[in-house]
Amino acid sequence: MPEFDFDLNDDIYKANPGYWPNIITLQNNNIQLEDLIFELNSQIKQLENLGINYLNQYDNILPIETLKDFLLLINEKYIDIPLIEIITNDYDKSLVYFTSLYEFLFVDFISSVAALIKTNNPQEIRTIILTHINNNLKQLNNLYKINPNLKPEMIKNSILLDIFNSDLDKLYEVFINPILVTYLNN
């Protein structure tokens, strides 16, 4: 629970009463942003509460430094992201890459674990993941002719195809294997 900031509270009441709703809204937005970052940290660092999309539950816009930190953490801990230095210097690219990886690894991946339980070979897992992404892209490509609003989903899958077309040994050891063990125990 956030601590009460008496100085900020004094500032609110020193301000013109017409500004009070704006100041309170800013305070609420800051609290929600802290909650969002806490939940994302829980998922990304401790692999807890997987399957829940916190990005969709909050209206906050993540600051560039937070996106950069999360992307660098994912790159260091789980899977190599090509051109990470270029991506993390651009807010829009950082947001698209982070959202794509976050949704795939920490939200959607948990529902795909059943297919991966049958193998403990990183190459087979890579093949399963790439086949899944390729199938998604083919379906989206066919549907795009009817619904051009699918462009963000196509971009997401293209990014994922590029990222997962690499060595997945690190991802298997520190992400997939712990998730499989947790699910087999539960």
Evaluate whether residue 104 is within a structural domain.
yes
121: closest CA among 83, 71, 57, 171? Answer: 171
Judging by beta carbons within 10 Å of its beta carbon (0-12, 13-18, 19+), is residue 89 exposed, middle or buried?
exposed
pLDDT value, residue 95:
94
Q: Bigger pLDDT: 140 or 110?
A: 140
pLDDT at 103 over 60: yes
23-27, 91-95, 160-164, 165-169: segment of lowest average pLDDT? 23-27
- Pick from 68, 23, 24, 58: which is nearest to 38 by CA? 58
Query: What does the pLDDT look like over 45-101, one tens digit per residue?
Result: 999 999 999 999 887 789 999 999 999 999 999 999 999 999 989 999 999 999 999
Amino acid 156: pLDDT? 94
Q: Are the beta carbons of 78 and 105 closer than 8 angstroms?
A: yes
Residue 105 domain-assigned (yes or no): yes
Strands (E), 19-146: none
Q: Residue 62 in contact with residue 71, Cβ under 8 Å?
A: no
Question: pLDDT at position 125, please?
Answer: 85
Domain for residue 1, yes or no? no
pLDDT given at position 11: 58
Does residue 68 form part of some domain?
Answer: yes
Longest CA pairwise span in the chain (Å): 64
Domain boundaries, position 140: 6-185
Tally of domains within the chain: 1
* pLDDT tens sequence across 124-137: 888 888 999 999 99
Predicted confidence at residue 1, as pLDDT, reads 43
Residue 79 has a CB neighbour count (10 Å cut-off) of 20
